[in-house]
Amino acid sequence: GESIAGPDVVSPDVYQEFAFPYEKKAIQELKRKGIIVANHICGNVTSIIEKMVETGADILEIDEKTNLQKAKKASQGKTCLLGPISPERLRRGTPEEIEFLCREALKIAAPGGGFILGPGCAMGGDTPLENIDALVKTVKRYGRYEGSTLRNWQLLDL
């Protein structure tokens, strides 16, 4: 991830002129070599989400500041979203709060596919295991896609 070209630091116009062309070029080169690319820009990327989709990244990592409805609309059928659970809420919240946040994100972003529920940014090493467990259990219970044949959930067991 990077944070110096995001809308929390620079305007969308500055991002488009000075960061977007280079991100797109780097992502396209990596993909040409067969590498799966995830693009993360810290902060609220709602104003540049369409440009992030245009980079061609396979996954866009978004945090809780980003409008999830707008990100889903911009990315649907083009790329996959990953996030948007706040690492700070994972660190300081309760398991019940984590389940609620996860269920709300799943309601918005899971329909139609192209969504991986997870933290919106790096988690701290002191994140309580019970909160990580709440996220995983919520995904197992509510995060299956209609018609999914995935059955190997033991890979996610803590």
| Residue tagged 């991830």 (tokens) | 1
Q: Report the SS3 class of residue 136.
A: helix
pLDDT of residue 22: 95
> So what's the pLDDT on residue 158?
44
pLDDT given for residue 148 in this prediction: 58
pLDDT, position 147: 60
How do residues 41-83 score in pLDDT, each as one tens digit?
Answer: 999 999 999 999 999 999 999 999 999 999 999 999 999 999 9
Partners of 81 in the beta sheet?
Answer: 60, 115
Tens digits of residue pLDDT in 35-48:
999 999 999 999 99
Residue type (1 letter), 128 = P
Query: pTM of the predicted model, to two decimals?
Result: 0.90
- For residues 60 and 52, is the Cβ–Cβ distance under 8 A? yes
pLDDT at 4: 82
Q: What is the pLDDT of residue 5?
A: 84
Which of 81-85, 90-94, 137-141, 154-158 is predicted least confidently? Answer: 154-158
Domain boundaries, the chain: 12-156
Tally of CB atoms within 10 A around 29: 11
Nearest in space to 101 (alpha carbons), one of 88, 113, 114: 88
3-class DSSP assignment, residue 81 = strand
Topology at the third CATH level for domain 12-156: TIM Barrel (3.20.20)
Both ends of the chain: CA-CA distance in Å? 26
